[in-house]
Structure 1
């Protein structure tokens, strides 16, 4: 029974970090505490889900930044190649080193 009480106390404090001991005792002794526990569990699941979505969005953001960087490098390489070609257009041959 003590373990259940400790678990419910922890649950309530997670759901309401500023709870007083009186509120916690009421929660534990209240017959509706199961409903409150369910609501707290749902809220925690929503938070967990939101954190997972945020992590996925951050991964995608990093992936997009990497693509953007790669495209910028390719554009710079293309410009350099174009300039090199323009400078050497008059030559019959071009030596790449």
Structure 2
């Protein structure tokens, strides 16, 4: 398991109007234990694409990255991690909407 130490949220633009709903990109800074297989000395970040479309809110894509180099880390989240990140995204996307209006 990991802890989220920092984050940023940005609403993604759809200039062609092809996609339904609103998409957000969240960049999460993670704290990972040294004995975890996800651990990287340069740090670990998580890039999440989150969709809000009516009642539907979900992660549609995510990828772990080495923080310094931005290189892709080929790992998948466990079910409990996925649920925790999904709740985090739901909360912080709503906060970002409220502050921009």
Using the size of structure 2 for normalisation, the TM-score is 0.29
State the structure with more CA Rg. Answer: 1
Higher fraction of helix: 1
Higher fraction of strand: 2
